[in-house]
Structure 1
């Protein structure tokens, strides 16, 4: 059985052509979203007596609704708050490296060395 991270990184990301070479969103974003929503399903008072039980422990739909709404709010909030930071920065400094630099490898361009000696640079 595949995890949500694996499915996002190996199936969804290539289909939507997401440029995330380090899979930061695939690892951290997808995990946080899944964890937040699954908390609404699996939360139990045995672990934390200050919360309501999740859906699978007889707590009903309340906690799952709170978790989904909180997750959606966070996604929208982060998008809104990041935009006024990134847009002016794009005007001041380049956000992306050049295509040639990306194909050559950042270690070689910036430091004059390669991090992975098993990569065949001749085939690029």
Structure 2
């Protein structure tokens, strides 16, 4: 660091200013890159995951209706009522199958990695990731 003592005050101030500017630019570049990554994650959450959630809710509702129809058909002895109540069972089953196929076709997001630390002093932190 003795070579800095040989510099004029003006050069030292300019070098310090240049160093601060370089750090500021580097931090800004990292920030912009992180915002871009965050934007892509938000896009996936809104577009893909919300669609999958909507399909899951449709599947659950249709499955519940199908189960109720089957329970009624087993509990009631009146064939006219059972026929009228369950006349759309095949249509509902077809819709359930279509929703299930679409759900299976959606690419699942990778599972998050979990950092864990062992209780022993010699053990290091380990990272475990579940794959889809």
Q: In which range does the TM-score fall when normalised by the shorter chain?
A: under 0.3
- Structure with the greater relative contact order (CA < 8 A, sep ≥ 6): 1 or 2? 2
Q: Considering only CA atoms, is the larger Rg found in Structure 1 or Structure 2?
A: 2
Length-normalised TM-score, structure 1:
0.27
Which structure features the higher share of helix residues?
2
Which structure features the higher share of strand residues?
2
